[in-house]
Amino acid sequence: MNLQENIRIGTRGSPLALAQAEEVKASLLAAHAHLADDNVSIVVIATMGDQIQSKPLKEFGGKGLFTKEIEEALLAGDINMAVHSMKDVPTDLPKGLGIVCLLPREDPRDGFLSPIANSLAELPHGAVIGSSSLRRVAQVRHVRPDLQVVNFRGNVNTRMRKLSEGVAQATFLACAGLNRLGLSERITAPVPVDVMLPAVAQAVIGIETRLDDAATIALLTPLHHEETAHCVAAERALLAALDGSCRTPIAALAELQGDRLMLRAQILREDGSESLETRREGPVADAAAMGRDAGDELRGRAGPDFFAST
């Protein structure tokens, strides 16, 4: 790549997406002293998922709604790289594209936000929870079936505004997103992963490129975080084995302890009436295999009708 040319980073236009793209830009500039600020630009691309605000995403096709238009720009050569929240990235990528770089994982936990309670357990009977996440809704309904749930779409600021307006008494936002936006003080309390296991690859920024673009891949190589990659490999292998999407309540978290990887996984019925969980532990080199094995186990235990809408 001619370093005088503009390196174009494609991203969604939400405040969090822009903050993540700026983090990638800053990391590139820090890793490559020969790059100047004006060598790297951020290109905002509107996605269908951003335009649909009134209805649940599951009605429109799931996770690809946040990546399709950006990937089209990547394939067309309009951008050199795409920055994604990995929890939004489908397991099957378009031919010729690949996630070639993962930044170090932020706090993977969900954040509990409420003006009236310090935790999910402390919410009064019948309180209203706002969330657009099938996973979070199913988890809430599993542990607190007495609570009411309303759909909460929109970016971080929109959801916090709805909370302050009293549309709901509590909501959940990823700790990582609030941290990246400098809004960590808005978190009433992080939710322990034993209470609410996070989404697959939550808190991980992934960078997608054309697989034949060796120059861009070389620029990103110093940014890649291998430990995060092992964890994401396990979690996304689980997701692929379960054929997961935004229409499927699936949770998982892989963590490293030395050269050992620990994986926890959970699937739930949409109404929260049933939860199945499993764990794996093994060598880091077996991360993807452990994820696939855990996914196969859960799929077998669940049976064909487990993920049917209720």
Which region among 147-151, 233-237, 246-250 has the lowest average model confidence (pLDDT)? Answer: 246-250
3-state secondary structure (DSSP) of residue 28: helix
State whether CATH 2.40.50.140 applies to domain 235-302.
no
Please, where in the chain does CATH 3.40.190.10 lie?
7-103+204-224, 110-190
State which fold the 110-190 domain adopts.
D-Maltodextrin-Binding Protein; domain 2 (3.40.190)
Torsion sign, CA atoms 193, 113, 238, 258: negative
In sequence order, what E strands does 103-204 have?
Answer: 110-113, 128-130, 148-150, 170-174, 189-190
Global pTM? 0.91
**pLDDT tens-digit map of 154-166:** 778 888 899 999 9
Span 7-103+204-224 CATH architecture: 3-Layer(aba) Sandwich (3.40)
Distance of CA 118 to the CA centre of its chain: 24
User: Rounded distance, CA 187 to CA 177, Å?
Assistant: 11
pLDDT digits (tens, 9 = 90+) for 208-247: 999 999 999 999 999 999 999 999 999 999 999 998 655 7
Residue 55 in tokens: 């209805």
- How far is residue 265's CA from residue 277's CA, in Å, rounded to a whole number? 6
**Which string of b and e fits 210-247 if b means at least 16 CB within 10 Å?**
beebeebbebbeebebeebbbbbbbbbbbbbbbebbbb
* Whole-number pLDDT of residue 135: 95
The per-residue pLDDT for 1 is: 45
User: Strand order of the sheet with strand 205-210?
Assistant: 40-44, 7-11, 81-85, 205-210, 97-102
Q: For the segment 1-57, what is each residue's pLDDT rounded down to a tens digit?
A: 454 468 999 999 999 999 999 999 999 999 999 999 999 999 999 887 665 555 555
Q: What is the mean pLDDT of residues 199-204?
A: 98
Residues of the chain with CATH 3.30.160.40: 235-302
Q: Which residues are catalytic?
A: 88
d(CA 306, CA 268): 8
